[in-house]
Structures are given as C-alpha cells and as structure tokens.
Homo-oligomer: A and B are copies of this chain.
Amino acid sequence: MHRFALLARGAAARPGTARWSSAAEASAVHISEKTSREKILTLESMNPLVKALEYAVRGPIVLKAGEIEKELRKGIKKPFTEVIKANIGDAHAMGQRPITFLRQVVALCTYPNLLDSPSFPEDAKKRARRILQGCGGNSLGSYTASQGINCIREDVASYIERRDGGVPADPDNIYLTTGASDGITSILKILVSGGGKSRTGVMIPIPQYPLYSAAISDLDAIQVNYYLNEEKCWALDVNELRRALNEAKSYCNPKVLCIINPGNPTGQVQTRKCIEDVIHFAWEEKLFLLADEVYQDNVYSEGCQFHSFKKILYEMGPEYYNNVEIASFHSTSKGYMGECGYRGGYMEVINLHPEIKGQLVKLLSVRLCPPVSGQAAMDVVVNPPVPGEESYSQFIKEKESVLNNLAQKAKITEELLNKIPGVHCNPLQGAMYAFPQIFIPSKAIEEAKAHKMAPDMLYCMKLLEETGICAVPGSGFGQREGSYHFRITILPPLEKLKILLEKVKDFHIKFLEKYA
C-alpha cells in the first residue's frame, strides 16, 4: 500500500493548478451541490449488448474462485487447501509440460542468438530460420500480413492436406488468428446483417461453448438453438436441426450453422454419417457452416475417429464441394500441446466469395495481425518433427504421453462419475471435459429460485465453497429445460483427478441428503 501514500490527494494548492480548482469549484456549484458527480459510463448508459453478454467459463463462479484463493492466501481456514480450477481447458495450468520442440522453436525465433547454440537441435533451428525469413526484418517484433505469415499459411495448408488424405488446401484460404475465438467472432461479424425478422439467425448446439452465445449477443444476431441428444451420447440429429431451423424462420433469417466437433462441453465425436447429413442439410437449406474443430487431436474412445468437415465435403462430390461455404477453426490451445497463452490459431475458408475474402482481410487488418509468437507456435503444431529428424523420437514420446494420459483420464472420469448416485455421464469420446447430468432435489431447486440463481449455479457454488473445486454450471452452456449439469475438465494430473472425483462424490451425496 506504500505506493498509494506517496502523494497526498489534494494537489489543488500547487501553483499553476489552483486556478483550475477554483474554476472547477465555481462551476461545480452551478451544476450540482454534490462533490462526487454522476459517472458518464454506468450500467444504465453502457452498451446494452455488452451488458446482456454472458460468458460462463469465466463467469461468477470463477470470480468467486478468485476471491476464495485470495482468502486462502490470507490464511483464512477453509475445508480445503487449494482451489482446483477445473472450469477451463487450461492444460499447462494443470501441470502439463510444454512440448519441448515447440518451445525450442519459439525461443530460437525470440532470441536468434540461440541459433548459434549447440544445445538446440538442428531441426528446431531449421524451422526457426524459416519462420524468421517470413518475418519483416527477420524479427518476431514486426507486424505480419493481416492474414498471417505466408510460409506458415503454406505449412497449415500442407498439414490439412496430410490430415485429410490429400484433399487439396490452398494457403490463400488460410487465415492465422488470435486463438480460434478470434476467427469465429470475425467470420460471424461478417455474416450478420438485416433487421427485425430478417436479422441473421445463427444455429448453435445446446449445450454449446459460450463463446458462441456471447458473440451472437454482442453482434445483436439471433441465437437459434438445436439440442444435442443426451440419450444418444450427445449425438446431433438432422431432424432436430430441421425443427430448429423451421421454427426460427418465423422470427429471423437463419443462415449460419455452427458445429463443434469433437463437442465442447459434451465430448461427443461425430460419425462420418452424421457429418454427411449435416453437410447435406446445410447445402439444402443454404446455410453457411462453421466447423469448430479445435479438439481434432483429442479423440479417445475406441471406434471413434475425427473426420474433418472439409474432407467429408470433398468426398461428397463436386455439387457439395463447389458450393457449400464453410469456415473451420483450429488452435494451439488444445490437442496435445495445450498452448493457450500463445493465442495461436487458424481458420480455413471454403467457397468464400472472392470479394468477401477481401472484406475479411480488411476486417482483420483493423487489429493489425495475430500475435507473431502465436503464429510461430501454430507453425510447429502443423509442421512437427518427422521420422528421421533429430527431435522426432522425443516429440512423439511427449505427444503420445499427453494423449494417452488424457485418454486414461477420460475413461476414469466417466467411470467414477457414473458411480455417484444421481449422476449420469456419457462416454467422453473426445475433447477435455466431462459434462455429467446431475439430479438436483426439488428443495435445492426452490432454494436456488429464492436466490434468483440457476439450480446448477447453486450446486456449483456450494461445490466450490465446500471442496475448492471450480466447475461450470450447465446453465452456462445451455441444457434441456429441467435437466442440470456441470462441466469439469479432465486436465488435472491423474491422482489429483481421482481425488477431485471422490470429492465430487462425497459432496453430491451430502447435497442429496441435505435437500432430501
């Protein structure tokens, strides 16, 4: 607090400033008798679209977790010694180690003197040199093209081709972004238009990742919900898409369909058949498709496989491949690398009108360029060591260790959650979350209503206060009326995750008893 005591508040007596004070005070008397004026920017005067916006994964429960952490640091006693932030897919914060090769390349780009150091492998140096050659003045400190560094966009295109068994990808269709969120909000921003009943409707899954509802709210677009089928392991059913679309047509102009695959928060992995059905539906109904594929490396269940929308689109033939407009998204934040802090990502657009590509570049140029170290990190993700290269064996070992570990945790989480009475959890086929359905007794629902709180918010608040576990209420993602859920990540280290799940179990049983 020392810093705030450096100067006394009343500087009015200084020579040369006194006239302002007296002028101000004189005028102040005319305007108001109060000493503290009304603010210009208030809850009443602010942008109502921002006020309406909600973002559950960083919402009230996370603010509360922060408060509790402060209290713990002050030595205030709690029934636990630490807050476990299971609210967000933040792998490194949960102890996952960075992929060595990725950090080596980014460090070499950051401080090119290291290119002479014998302690860095040649394959990392080769990549760093290539990235630096793509940077103005060979420096990560230069702005890049708004669309991202050329050679990295080429590497992304090559990666997509390898991933999709040779389906062509054009670097001109690749836009590097500040995480996937930036790509999603940018393309949504371009898509939204019209007023009243012709306002753009955006179809999103329920449950959804709240970036979608937040972006739609921010853009004053119309959110059109389609429900995933919890009974069928959160499968997407085209009949449900059709129902949602037809209803929406009476109050807006639905023209965008968002898909999250693998699902967040729901963890399902879409089948090839399902993707075909969705593409056909989008083609038939003239919907612009957004394919959020940031968990493409996170597939765990036997028999499940990631299929990109791009690949399936291609294989469905030219009528689809030449017409359906798609934007798909990837990121450095998830997968096996978990580099959230770098804010790296890319978007691939398919069948985008050439004039719209110009508009997109213009829109992106207002924020100048994505962070360049994030672009470099993205490059390593799409251009990792290959067999024969010096770093290959260590890279593969690290990558597989993370993914095997996640697969194991996905399985254990499902098993342990399903052992809790009044909890049901679908298989965690992919992504990094469990989204179990929880039974909340009617007495608890009444108590929540009395506090003007969603019942699962009450549940998660109590879970946090009693166990230190920070989970996100299902209401933050959306769910069928009358059903309740929460989302937790499976990222804590295995032993810690087991303890966490035991704590959830104990808490839940006590909760049921309390409100029986």
Instruction: Report which A residues bind B (CB closer than 8 A).
Output: 3-4, 6-7, 9-12, 14, 17-18, 20-21, 23-25, 27-28, 35-37, 39-43, 45-48, 50-51, 53-55, 58-59, 66, 85, 88, 90-96, 98, 103-104, 106-107, 110-111, 114, 117, 119, 135-137, 139-146, 157-158, 161, 166-170, 178-179, 181-182, 185, 189-193, 211, 214-215, 218, 255, 276, 280, 283-284, 286-288, 314-323, 325, 337-343, 351-353, 355-356, 359, 362-363, 365-374
Contact = CB atoms under 8 A, between A and B. Distances in A.
A34 B181 CA distance: 36
Oligomer: number of copies: 2
A145 B85 CA distance: 12
Contact of A23 (B58, B280, B339): B280
Nearest to A10: B318
B341 A11 contact: no
Contact of A168 (B6, B255, B314, B371): B6
A255 B39 CA distance: 11
B315 A4 contact: no
A372 B137 contact: no
A320 to B, nearest CB: 6
Contacts of A14: 315
A170 to B, nearest CB: 7
10 contacts: A6-B166, A7-B168, A40-B255, A41-B353, A92-B141, A135-B341, A142-B340, A179-B367, A179-B368, A371-B373
Nearest to A322: B36
Contacts of A170: 4
A17 to B, nearest CB: 5
A365 to B, nearest CB: 4
Nearest to A314: B11
B325 A215 contact: no
Nearest to A45: B193
Shortest 8 CB-CB contacts between residues of A and residues of B? A93-B136, A12-B317, A341-B372, A21-B317, A107-B111, A92-B139, A58-B365, A371-B371
Contacts of A9: 318, 321
